[in-house]
C-alpha cells in the first residue's frame, strides 16, 4: 500500500517528517499512517506541476488521448486493489467500490476522446480578408481538492478533464481517505513527471496553502458549503477561478400514480446508498397523500431489511459513517427533530448488535415540518424524513424551500407532473423515475448554495479551459488605419 506523497514522479515523505493515522471506520483500527503535508510540501508539488505544464500543454492531442486511455487500462488492472483500499479507509461496501473504479476508468476514457476532438471553433469574420477563430487554452496548474465519500470518482471528474484540457494537477485527497488516492501514483506513472502530484494532510496546514499558492491557477473543490465559502474568499483575493460542488438537501417527490413498491425501492436506494453519504442523497421525501401510508410502510420495511456490518463482507448492504463526529452529528439532528415532534418509525440509533465502528441504523421519520433542521440542512447520513403533501404543486413549493440546488427526483407516470416539476424545481440535475444516475456526457453541478460550475460532459471540460480569440488579417493595408482622422468627410472603413 502506497503511504507516501507523490511529487514530481517520486514518492516522498513530508518535510516535517510528521504523519497521521488513517482509521477504518468499520473497525476503528488504524489502516496506515501517511505524511502530514505542510505549505513547504505543497510548494514543491506546485513547482513541479508548474514546470511540467510547459511541456504538457504542447503535447499532441493523440498523445494525450493515448495516455488517458492508459490511465483507464491501469485502473481496471488495479480494480480489486483500489476497491479494497477504499473499503478499508472509507467504509463503503466493497461491491460499490468495485463499481466506482469502473466509473473512474470510464471517465478517463470519455475525456480522452472529447479532449482530442474539442479544441475550439471558427467564427465569421467582421471584414473581408480576415479570419477569426477561438481556441481553448488550459489555465495552468489546477488544485483538485477531493472529498472522502467517492474519493476516486470525484477525483476523476476533476483530474480527467483538467488533464485533457492541457492542465497539470496537484491533488489533495480528504484526510479520511488518502490511501486510495496515493495508490493512483502507479496509474499516473507513465505521464511526464510533475503532470500529476498528490499531497496529503489536513485543511489548514495543507489545503489552505494549496488554495493560496500563487502557482495555482484554478481550484476545483467538492465538499461542505462552509469550506467552499472559505475557499472562494481566499481565491477571490488573487482573482482565481473556483469550481465548487458543495452538496445538497435533495427532494424526492412520489406521486400517487406509480407502482409504490418500485418507488419504495428507488427511495431506499436514494436515501441509504453509502449510508446516505452521497452528495445527491434523497434527504427530503414529499409523498402525495393517497399513497403515503403504503409508501411509508414500505420504506420502514426496506430500512429494516438492510444488512449492516463490515463492508468487506459479501452480504453487507450498508457500512458505517466516515467518523464518530459524523455519526454524532446525524444522531443529534435526528434527536432534535424528535424533540420537535417528528416520529421515528425505524432506526434512529446505533445498531446494538455492532460494537465497533461508526454505524447508524437506516432511519425513517414522519411528522416532519419544513421548519425542522432535518428538512433544511444537509444530513449526510442514512435518514429518510417523509412529509405527506396534498398535490404536486405543494410538493414543488416545498422542494424549492431550500438554500440548496444540487439534485431533485420525482417518481410519476404522469408526463405533465414530471415536466412541471423539472421546469420549476431549482436543481442542477433532475431525475425522473431513476434517482442518482450519472452520465459522463451530461453535466453535473449545483445551483444556489450547492455551488457553481459543472463537472462531466463538454461543460466539465470547458471548466478547465479559457477561450482566446485569434484574428488574422491576411491582406495588410494602410488605408484601414484612420489616424490622423480626416474630418472633411465621413470616415471610410
Whether 255 sits among the annotated catalytic residues: the reply is no
Q: Is 11 exposed, middle or buried (0-12, 13-18, 19+ CB in 10 A)?
A: middle
Q: How far is CA 460 from CA 6, 81, 104, in A?
A: 25, 28, 15
CB 441 within 8 A of CB 424: no
Strand blocks (E) in 314-464: 343-346, 363-366, 383-389, 407-411, 429-432, 451-452
- Separation between Cα atoms, residue 256 and residue 392, nearest integer Å: 10
CB 426 within 8 A of CB 448: yes
Q: Which 8-state DSSP code applies to residue 377?
A: S
Name the β-bridge partners of 410.
253, 432
CB 261 within 8 A of CB 269: no
CB 333 within 8 A of CB 374: yes
- Active-site residue identified among 245, 331, 378, 455: 245
Whether 279 sits among the annotated catalytic residues: the reply is yes
Within 8 A by CB and 6+ apart from 45, the residues are 5, 7, 8, 170, 197, 198, 199
SS3 for 228? helix
Grid cell listed for 212: 493560496
Supply the DSSP string of 25-85, one letter for each residue. TTT--EEEEEE---HHHHHHHHHHHHHHHHHHTTS-HHHHHHHHHHHHHHHHHTHHHHHHH
Grid cell listed for 323: 467518523
Pairing of strands 343-346, 407-411: unpaired
CB 350 within 8 A of CB 343: no
- Active-site residue identified among 279, 283, 455, 463: 279
Catalytic residues: 245, 279
Amino acid at each position: 500500500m502506497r503511504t507516501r506523497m507523490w511529487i514530481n514522479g517520486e514518492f516522498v515523505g513530508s518535510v516535517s517528517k510528521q504523519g497521521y493515522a488513517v482509521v477504518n471506520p468499520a473497525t476503528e483500527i488504524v489502516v496506515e499512517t501517511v505524511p502530514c503535508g505542510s505549505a513547504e510540501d505543497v510548494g514543491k508539488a506546485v513547482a513541479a506541476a508548474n514546470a511540467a505544464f510547459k511541456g504538457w500543454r504542447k503535447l499532441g492531442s493523440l498523445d494525450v488521448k493515448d495516455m488517458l486511455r492508459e490511465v483507464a487500462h491501469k485502473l481496471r488492472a488495479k480494480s480489486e486493489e483500489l476497491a479494497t483500499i477504499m473499503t478499508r479507509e472509507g467504509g463503503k461496501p466493497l461491491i460499490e467500490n468495485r463499481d466506482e473504479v469502473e466509473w473512474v476508468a470510464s471517465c478517463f476514457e470519455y475525456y480522452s476522446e472529447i479532449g482530442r476532438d474539442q479544441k475550439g471553433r471558427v467564427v465569421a469574420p467582421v471584414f473581408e480578408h480576415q479570419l477569426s477563430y477561438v481556441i481553448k487554452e488550459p489555465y495552468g496548474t489546477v488544485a483538485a481538492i477531493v472529498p472522502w465519500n467517492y474519493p476516486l470518482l470525484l477525483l476523476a471528474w476533476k483530474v480527467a478533464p483538467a488533464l485533457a484540457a492541457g492542465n497539470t494537477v496537484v491533488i489533495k485527497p480528504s484526510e479520511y481517505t488518502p490511501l486510495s488516492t496515493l495508490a493512483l501514483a502507479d496509474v499516473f506513472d507513465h505521464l511526464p513527471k510533475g503532470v500529476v502530484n498528490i499531497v496529503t494532510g489536513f485543511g489548514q496546514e495543507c489545503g489552505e496553502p494549496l488554495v493560496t499558492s500563487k502557482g495555482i491557477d484554478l481550484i476545483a473543490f467538492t465538499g461542505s458549503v462552509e469550506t467552499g465559502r472559505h475557499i472562494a474568499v481566499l481565491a477571490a483575493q488573487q482573482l482565481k477561478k473556483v469550481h465548487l460542488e458543495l452538496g445538497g438537501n435533495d427532494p424526492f417527490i412520489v406521486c400517487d400514480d406509480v407502482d409504490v413498491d418500485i418507488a419504495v425501492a428507488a427511495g431506499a436506494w436514494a436515501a441509504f446508498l453509502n449510508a446516505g453519504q452521497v452528495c445527491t442523497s434523497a434527504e427530503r421525501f414529499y409523498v402525495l397523500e393517497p399513497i403515503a401510508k403504503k409508501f411509508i410502510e414500505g420504506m420502514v420495511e426496506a430500512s429494516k431489511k438492510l444488512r449492516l456490518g463490515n463492508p468487506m463482507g459479501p452480504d453487507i448492504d450498508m457500512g458505517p459513517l466516515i467518523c464518530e463526529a459524523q455519526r454524532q452529528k446525524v444522531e443529534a439532528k435526528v434527536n432534535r427533530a424528535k424533540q420537535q415532534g417528528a416520529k421515528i418509525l425505524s432506526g434512529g440509533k446505533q445498531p446494538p448488535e455492532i460494537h465497533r465502528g461508526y454505524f447508524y441504523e437506516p432511519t425513517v421519520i414522519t411528522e416532519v415540518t419544513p421548519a425542522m433542521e432535518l428538512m433544511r440542512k444537509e444530513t449526510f447520513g442514512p435518514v429518510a424524513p417523509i412529509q405527506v403533501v396534498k398535490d404536486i404543486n405543494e410538493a414543488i413549493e416545498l422542494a424549492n424551500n431550500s438554500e440548496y440546488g444540487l439534485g431533485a427526483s420525482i417518481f410519476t407516470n404522469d408526463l405533465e407532473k414530471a415536466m412541471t416539476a423539472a421546469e420549476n424545481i431549482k436543481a442542477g440535475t433532475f431525475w425522473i423515475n431513476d434517482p442518482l444516475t450519472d452520465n459522463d456526457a451530461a453535466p453535473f453541478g449545483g445551483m444556489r448554495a450547492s455551488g457553481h460550475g459543472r463537472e462531466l460532459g463538454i461543460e466539465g471540460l470547458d471548466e478547465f479551459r479559457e477561450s482566446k480569440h485569434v484574428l488574422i488579417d491576411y491582406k495588410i493595408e494602410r488605408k484601414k488605419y484612420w489616424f490622423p482622422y480626416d474630418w472633411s468627410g465621413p470616415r471610410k472603413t
